[in-house]
Structure 1
Amino acid sequence: MPWAAFNATFEFVADVGDGKNFEAKCLLCKKTVRCGHKSSSNLKVHLKGGKHKWTDEQVKTLNVSDKTLKRKLTDADENVSDFFRKRKITQADVDRVVDNLIICETLPHSLVDSPHLKEAVLLGLPSNLTVGCRKSFRKRLDKHHEKMKENLKRALNRVKYVATTADAWTKHGRSFLGMTAHWIDTENFERQSAALALKRLKGRHTHDKLAGEIHGILETYTIANKVSKCTTDSASNFKKAFHVFDKSNPTVGQGFEDLGDGLLDEETASVVDADEVEDEEEDDDGCEPVALSDTFADANMDIFLPPHQRCGSHIVNLIGSEDINESVQINATYKKIYDASTAKLTELWRKQARSELVATAFKEGFGVKLERPGDTRWNSQFDARKQIVGLCSGDGGDNFNATVSSVNLQKLTKVEIRFLQEYVWVLQPVALALDIIQREKNMFLGYLLPTVYSMERQLHHRRHAFSDGKPLKYCEPLARTAVEAIHRPGRFGLLLEERELQLAAVLLPQFKMSWVKEAREVAVLREALIAEAKAVSLSSDLSDAPGKPSPSARAPAAAAGGETQLEAEAEDDPEPMEEERTMEEEFFGFQRQASTAASDDTESPEAEVDRYLNCRSDSIKDCFGANSTGRRQFPRLFHLFLKYNTALPSSASVERLFSRSGHSFSDLRTMLSDLTLEMEVMLKVNQLYWLK
């Protein structure tokens, strides 16, 4: 750009005409603007008009004079702007830079007192500016936290349906309850997410204490009556808390007397849907479920909780880990090969971790280091074996065995290689189902049942034939056990019959009724959907407030890149690549309807449902989005889509709250107070709601 001050708002495209003019792309709205090399008036007019509405004062801050063009920059300093040299730096600017650095990079608070940081930040600045001290930083931390909470409250106030996830963890002797909130932007149907709390928990992990903590968090953000579902794992105390304090339960609010300790016992067994004891077990990356908080001051306070949703990815993980281990016990041949191959692989992973010589040999021989599986996550066990199978493909494992032999480790036999190939082939649908369910972006509760049925269908198929079309030699017991586990009451047996989950799947345009097996059930679900549609009042469309976030609700997103760190750093949440979409489509493989019908302003709920079920489009935005006039193609079903699909099928989001908090839970942070730690994590994750 001829004027360095415009580098922050425009990008040079190309010279046009006789070279006296050029085209620049606005970085704010992506429009192309033509301007002369000697006059910046067109650029200023663009900023003052259209969507931007810059004031004269804002334009003056650019300090641009048409008589003083910038020197020709080299490639090395093209990104250097005179704007930042000419702009007056204030104490607020210094505070903002220091706060952002400490909070967003999870650095020690003592760094504020470091002379080296002060030298780096204040270099070249006026002598009246200071970095401050740790005490002043803590005061600003409090202000940022309050600002974040108020902005998040306003954002949540503008939506009608909110979903939450919750989990309890312990690290370095301290226990925490984490909660996240999720909702759907009704303009682009993208999922929005934020962290709600990271509360220090003390005392026993009882259902009444847990219920009080969750209710208190929801009341803090005034969303207790907005939450469609709260997704947690299968721990018995979570399930009992949501059962006893379900707001539809007539005994809710009568206090905590005689409710027991919330731990799984004979009296509680019927309450928790006959789940097996192993459902309580949960160990994640060195963190464990733990005891919860102190007794509440008012034991008779009215407490109610939203409907509960069991975490689907936790159930799939149990199928992949505990249930398939039964196949080891039911078939002697399978057990012998499984034990032998697992012992050899375990030794490979152990030696690589402990011996630099072995690690170097593996890296040189394989081109990569072996993935070391975790102790608690089944998908890491699967991925590690899948890598071994990939390294053995092509040459039948000759290079793999040669590399292993070079460091005096046991080779895999041909039988063991074939066994591992069948193992990966059979359980690939389980791994893919787990990846799909625990995704956050482009994920809705309606994905759960189609994913489970697709997993079951593919397991049935792979039970009878390997990828080469030949029968399985060793892993048929594995496939049979996995299929049988799906329908157990403690797994998906009861969830597959839940009407709300069925309607959520039907209300996803990419599925509709395609996943339903029996024609009779199609008719039943159609009638259920019609009944729900009849109950919807169209007097107030959610495309206006309360359902559609107003421009002010989305304003923070533009300032912080448009997404929270909880979304941006979700490991399993990148936008699916084309080949990943193809894999997902092949995984589901349902036959979809292909007819269309026109809309009618006066159509009945029955007609709207039938038109939707026969609609060609599988796009959520096409089916439920508003057109230029604000009308929606399926207005009643749009309401129902939000009602049933705002919730998530997995609690993976709250797990990311813990795992994505950087070094907040490291050994070096154990001296932070509970409140300071919570504020630090909340501000790091919810940058969108306090960063300018």
Structure 2
Amino acid sequence: MDSSLESDDSTVDPSYIELEHSMKQEIDSQHFEDASSYHSNLPKAFCKSEVGSPCSSMLTAVSSNVFEKMPLIFNGNYFKVVKRIGDTDHQKKARGILAQCNFCATTKIIKGSLNITSNFIQHLKKRHRIKYEEYLKEKNDIGKSQRPMVVDRTSNSFNEKSTISEFDENILTFVIENTLPLSIVESPSFMALFRGTGLVTCTKKQMMNMLDTKYYGMMTRLSDTLTSVPYVCTTLNVWLCKRKYIFGYTCHWIDGTNYSRKSAALRFQSFGAEGAFENIRDALHRTNSAFGLGDDKIISTITDNDDNVVDAFKEFGLQDFYEFSDEDEQDLCEDDKAKILPDLSNIFQRYPPHHKCVIHDLFSLATTDFIDLLKLNSSLHQLHQISFKRCTEIWSKCTTPEKSEMAKTFVPFSLILPTSTDWYSMFDSIRCLLNNKDKLYNLCFFLETSNFTYAEIEYLEEYCRLMEPIAEAFKFLQIESQMLYGYFLPTLVTIKVKFDKLDLGSFKYLTELGLQMGNKLFERFQNFFEIREECIDAVVASVSCPIIKLKFVKALSQIAPNVSVEQIQSHFIDYAKEFRRDAETVNQQDSFQGSSTVHNFFDFGQCSNVSVKQEIDPLLHIRREFNRYLSDEDNSLSSLDRYPVVKNVFIKYNTTLPSYASVRRLFAYSGVTSSRRNLKMSSRHFERLVIMKANDVCF
């Protein structure tokens, strides 16, 4: 994607001028929504603040006449536009084009669009590396030539004569990090904090302008970053809050230089119930277009909209503590719900692979599957319900600050309270109680709750021993900063191995259920264990992780006998074919090149023309590199630098995340969503506060 919309002073071909003119006419005839800050003309084209409203003076300063500009890559120096295409609705929306490369020896026509230029950029990167670097330098020079946005205290708008003070920067950071209403800067109590200091706080209008400037700058930098990223994974979810749907969308990739995980929030927007499906689909399309996230770049999109997490927790016996409410849906009949609840799976019929959150399947194993097995034994199920009721009574009494502080003074340990719909936090909270079981009697007496019986304590201890392998895996897989998709299949194998190591004979209550949980694990993840076609990318991702390689295969073959080392190696070689050129290039660089003196010295007469014909394996270079990689005892990620094909496979197939937790955290970042009506903040500025808070670390 080309995030720069500037054109230079060089002469351009007539097709460029004609296309630019038609583009301007097309844009002038359209009406854009408030969400057009993600307009398909890329992040620097964020210049509509309201539906049909003119650009503000600030945005004009950012990019005057931006709709009349074309992406830099079409300025005539790199590609010549041949034809406009609009055979499909997508091509019409994205302004599809055919363009000819100026550097290919033969006529090379590439299909793409004005909005998503990644096809053209990738062509330069792969075929004309020097020209690609020239393009990046030219784009970078244009970006540096832009003058920064500044604050003019006298006009509530931005000009280029003054700079944003460090004081105002700090206030804006304070507002963003705490997701506060912008109007707080005009609050008498807030202004009183600086009385007598000589510091003057800015107005709400000025704060809005500074927020917009920061936002556009951040999005431009993010757009430039994503341009150079070969593969991304996105996570998407939708929440119902106060009879509005909130659409969250995040993006994740692997840094090819240090192999670190990078993430960014792209969208956080609310919609009314009517037309929710269409609005979400359009928002997804606009966002992907704005950031150049085409089908060739998005490896997968992770969502979850199947299992009802709340119902699972109610079945678990925790409703007394969480007090789930149906306030948002109580006025909707079932027919109305069917019309407005978006089916996310349908959205992805025209988009890259849609993956269900695999960690959610672990959640279902630990809750739904466990309870289903428990219900087969009524007395055991009753013991479970009573034991968890004792826990929830304690937790509910400690939710108030007064009780919580008094409990700390009465018992010498701090309680861990579970988080709603987070199974691991519930498990950790129970383990906290059991680690201090000798003090539970005093705690229950103080809180005036029923005390635990010996049988209930025994049951909870067995429950924690049985579920600990799942809990540890659950926690490990949600460490997003170091998580790779290649860790998921080995994690499943680890859970099964730990289940098999449990001394179930020492269990009093859960012996039989422990055996059944191992079977449930295999049933729920059978596609992964048996490496069926839809899960081959998971095993390829695992093998490309230096710390994993083929270490898990022996244990996996004991779970699924049809799996073999040869089968997995074959899958890897097959997936590595697309990077064959990298292996051949390295092989040529490593081969010995004799000097001209040595070459000219030898003379064998006509015999020198004799050659031996042999069949050469076209994948020989890949096999050799793969074998060297497997033999390398270095398990660090940096070792991938020595194996370019394995490195490319690693980056592509480990980009996917096993969890959509990041987009759930995006909702948590808002902090004040449920009370936004009290903040007197527009949806647009609220979205920007949340996005900037989520992206602060990276951008």
Give 1:305's aligned residue: 351
Q: Which has the higher helix share?
A: 2
Residues in 2 aligned to 1:216 and 1:542: alpha-carbon distance in whole angstroms: 38
Deviation at 1:347, TM superposition (A): 2.4
More displaced stretch, 509-518 vs 208-217: 208-217
The secondary structure found in structure 2 opposite 1:330 is coil
CA contact (8 A) 1:215 1:224 kept: no
Residues in 2 aligned to 1:279 and 1:371: alpha-carbon distance in whole angstroms: 21
Give 1:326's aligned residue: 372
User: Quick one: which amino acid aligns to residue 137 of structure 1?
Assistant: M
Deviation at 1:220, TM superposition (A): 1.4
1:634 aligns with 2:643: yes
User: Quick one: which amino acid aligns to residue 343 of structure 1?
Assistant: K
Deviation at 1:683, TM superposition (A): 1.7
Deviation at 1:354, TM superposition (A): 6.2
1:676 aligns with 2:679: no
| Change in 2 beyond 3 A, CA 1:97/1:377 | closer
User: Quick one: which amino acid aligns to residue 646 of structure 1?
Assistant: T
Note the alpha carbon deviations across 1:515-574, whole angstroms, 9 max, x for none: 12228521111012122223314459999xxxxxxxxxxxxxxxxxxxxxxxxxxxxxxx
Deviation at 1:437, TM superposition (A): 1.3
Give the 5 Å matches for 1:476-555. 476-488=511-523, 491-496=524-529, 497=532, 498-516=535-553, 517-518=556-557, 520-538=563-581
Deviation at 1:653, TM superposition (A): 0.8
1:105 aligns with 2:105: no
| Change in 2 beyond 3 A, CA 1:305/1:282 | farther
1:141 aligns with 2:215: no
Note the alpha carbon deviations across 1:364-421, whole angstroms, 9 max, x for none: 44313433334422222211211121112xxxx3x42244245553322222222111
User: Quick one: which amino acid aligns to residue 454 of structure 2?
Assistant: K
Residues in 2 aligned to 1:204 and 1:492: alpha-carbon distance in whole angstroms: 37
Deviation at 1:430, TM superposition (A): 0.7
Deviation at 1:458, TM superposition (A): 1.2
Note the alpha carbon deviations across 1:561-610, whole angstroms, 9 max, x for none: xxxxxxxxxxxxxxxxxxxxxxxxxxxxxxxxxxxxxxxxx972111112
Give 1:419's aligned residue: 459
**RMSD (CA atoms):** 3.7
| Change in 2 beyond 3 A, CA 1:614/1:539 | closer
CA contact (8 A) 1:171 1:287 kept: no
- Give the counterpart of 1:377 among 419, 422, 427: 422
Residues in 1 aligned to 2:341 and 2:302: alpha-carbon distance in whole angstroms: 22
Superposition TM-score, scaled by structure 1 size = 0.62
Give 2:625's aligned residue: 608
CA contact (8 A) 1:316 1:430 kept: yes
Residues in 2 aligned to 1:278 and 1:444: alpha-carbon distance in whole angstroms: 26
- Give the counterpart of 2:169 among 96, 108, 111: 96
CA contact (8 A) 1:361 1:407 kept: no
Number of residue pairs aligned between Structure 1 and Structure 2: 477
- Identical residues among aligned pairs (%): 25
User: Quick one: which amino acid aligns to residue 526 of structure 2?
Assistant: G
Superposition TM-score, scaled by structure 2 size = 0.61
Residues in 1 aligned to 2:370 and 2:210: alpha-carbon distance in whole angstroms: 52
- Please list every run of 5 or more consecutive structure 1 residues that lacks an aligned counterpart in the other structure: 1-88, 237-276, 544-601, 626-632
Give 2:231's aligned residue: 161
Give the 5 Å matches for 1:532-611. 532-538=575-581, 604-611=621-628
| Change in 2 beyond 3 A, CA 1:293/1:163 | farther
Deviation at 1:280, TM superposition (A): 10
CA contact (8 A) 2:239 2:246 kept: yes
Give the 5 Å matches for 1:315-394. 315-353=361-399, 359=404, 362-392=407-437
User: Quick one: which amino acid aligns to residue 531 of structure 1?
Assistant: D
Give 2:78's aligned residue: none
- Please list every run of 5 or more consecutive structure 2 residues that lacks an aligned counterpart in the other structure: 1-161, 315-321, 330-336, 587-618
Give 2:62's aligned residue: none
| Change in 2 beyond 3 A, CA 1:293/1:131 | farther
CA contact (8 A) 2:266 2:287 kept: yes
| Change in 2 beyond 3 A, CA 1:110/1:311 | same
User: Quick one: which amino acid aligns to residue 455 of structure 1?
Assistant: I
Q: Which has the higher contact order (CA 8 A, sep 6+)?
A: 1
CA contact (8 A) 2:583 2:644 kept: no
Residues in 2 aligned to 1:346 and 1:309: alpha-carbon distance in whole angstroms: 34
- Give the counterpart of 1:460 among 472, 492, 500: 500
CA contact (8 A) 1:228 1:644 kept: no
Residues in 2 aligned to 1:376 and 1:673: alpha-carbon distance in whole angstroms: 29
| Change in 2 beyond 3 A, CA 1:649/1:360 | closer
| Change in 2 beyond 3 A, CA 1:158/1:90 | closer
Deviation at 1:674, TM superposition (A): 1.7
Deviation at 1:216, TM superposition (A): 2.3
Deviation at 1:433, TM superposition (A): 0.8
Residues in 2 aligned to 1:508 and 1:604: alpha-carbon distance in whole angstroms: 20
The secondary structure found in structure 2 opposite 1:314 is helix
Deviation at 1:480, TM superposition (A): 3.0
